Amino acid sequence: MPSKAPEYEGPERINLSGSPREIGVQHGKVLSQKIRNQIAVYTDMFLSTSGLSWSSVQTLASEYGKTVSKLTPDLYEEMLGIAEGADLDILDIVALNCRSEIALGHFSDGCTSLGWDLRKANATGTSEAVLLAQNWDWTARVKKNLVLMSIEQQGKPKIWMVTEAGIVGKIGFNSASVGTNLNAIRAKPTDSSKLPIHVILRVCLESASVSAAISKIEDLGGIASSAHILIADPTGPRSLELSPKGNVYIDPNSNGIVCHTNHFIQNRYVNEPPWLAGSPIRLERAQKLTGDLATGPKAVTGDALRKHVFSDLFNAPQAICCQEDPTRPVETRSSTLFCIVMKFQQGHDPAGEVVWGRPGSGEEGEVLTMPW
């Protein structure tokens, strides 16, 4: 009998630097096959969820491409470089970077994120730091196409992030100690005259502070589709419930904690139909578990968060530690693909820990450090 293919162990690390075009060309060349794999994954997914062929997706992407070119020309130049390096059409790359907007949120990805200003916590041994953490849940078919990416460009903070091949911005932090988490939100409308969420994430990761990132988002006219960014720096975390019709910003509670899942808590500017039944349950569970840690005897560390929050299986398969639901089409089955914990503190360099796979499952990889 043929031997079983070995389990994918961990992500590729790539370091990019130079001008926007140079960064893009390096990205495209090094990750050419992974980008093609991503296009294949999303071709199947768009067809399954929205009845859209890839050529139809490219047509929709063209409108977002015009917006990215107009509002963030450096990032459009980077996308052109990715297309050149990978020998693909620019609309292939734009489509990957606006995949959330094109499908109107018809996906089943569910992520649980939290920010914690430990200066307000009561836990024993807690440091004077700010933590930003999440489980990222998505179809297992993209796992082999995820990478740890650093980006160094003149006049901007250096970026370290976990992203999908071909996508210019996602989850991570920069040398100015600004970090981002992402939660998908399914709501209408979308607006192609505004920037896609993955471009907005990159804008945040090029910012020197949380306040600067929020100002930049507002100056650029906001976001094309509803989404949640949990952002943090050494002054604390802030929840950004973003939509094309208006934004709502949520501050931490009295323990310094803010949690979020895949539904808006306060933003009522858009039409948000019922989506993931497990999202409110995960939010309540995350709030309870972090509250227990806040008043408990254990120090709040990355390891403590993985053991006591992010490995939690309550309400499985739609748990904080997400498992595939075999009743769903294979194109939209989600599970936790990685867990990230970032730490920011005045006078200290930012740092992150990434665990590849479902924390607490016994099958996850070792703790990877950022920067590398």
Residue-by-residue pLDDT tens, the chain, 372 positions: 333 444 556 799 999 999 999 999 999 999 999 999 999 999 999 988 888 999 999 999 999 999 999 999 999 999 999 999 999 999 999 999 999 898 764 455 579 999 999 988 655 555 789 999 999 999 999 999 999 999 999 999 999 999 999 999 999 999 999 999 999 999 999 999 999 999 999 999 999 999 999 999 999 999 999 999 999 999 999 999 999 999 999 999 999 999 999 999 999 999 998 878 889 999 999 999 999 999 888 889 999 999 999 999 999 999 999 999 888 878 778 899 999 999 999 999 999 999 999 999 999 999 999 999
The CATH number that applies at residue 214 is: 3.60.60.10
**pLDDT computed for residue 5 by the predictor:** 42
* Residue length of the chain: 372
Q: What is the pTM of this model?
A: 0.95
Are 163 and 213 a contacting pair, CB within 8 Å?
A: no
**pLDDT computed for residue 260 by the predictor:** 98
Q: In this structure, is residue 3 part of a structural domain?
A: no
Q: In this structure, is residue 1 part of a structural domain?
A: no
CA distance 244 to 194: 7
Domain that holds residue 23: 12-370
**pLDDT computed for residue 125 by the predictor:** 52
Q: Number of structural domains, the chain?
A: 1
Q: In this structure, is residue 7 part of a structural domain?
A: no
Q: In this structure, is residue 27 part of a structural domain?
A: yes
CA distance 158 to 148: 13
Torsion of CA 283, 285, 286, 291, to 10 degrees: 130
In the 8-state DSSP scheme, what is residue 170? -
Strands (E), the chain: 12-17, 112-117, 130-138, 146-152, 159-164, 171-174, 179-184, 227-233, 236-242, 248-250, 257-260, 335-344, 351-356, 367-370
Are 314 and 288 a contacting pair, CB within 8 Å?
A: no
Q: In this structure, is residue 5 part of a structural domain?
A: no
Residue 84 has, within 13 A of its CA and on its CB side, a CA count of: 13
**pLDDT computed for residue 372 by the predictor:** 95
**pLDDT computed for residue 273 by the predictor:** 84
Q: In this structure, is residue 6 part of a structural domain?
A: no
CA distance 165 to 61: 17
**pLDDT computed for residue 119 by the predictor:** 87
Q: In this structure, is residue 287 part of a structural domain?
A: yes
Q: In this structure, is residue 339 part of a structural domain?
A: yes
305 SS3 class = helix
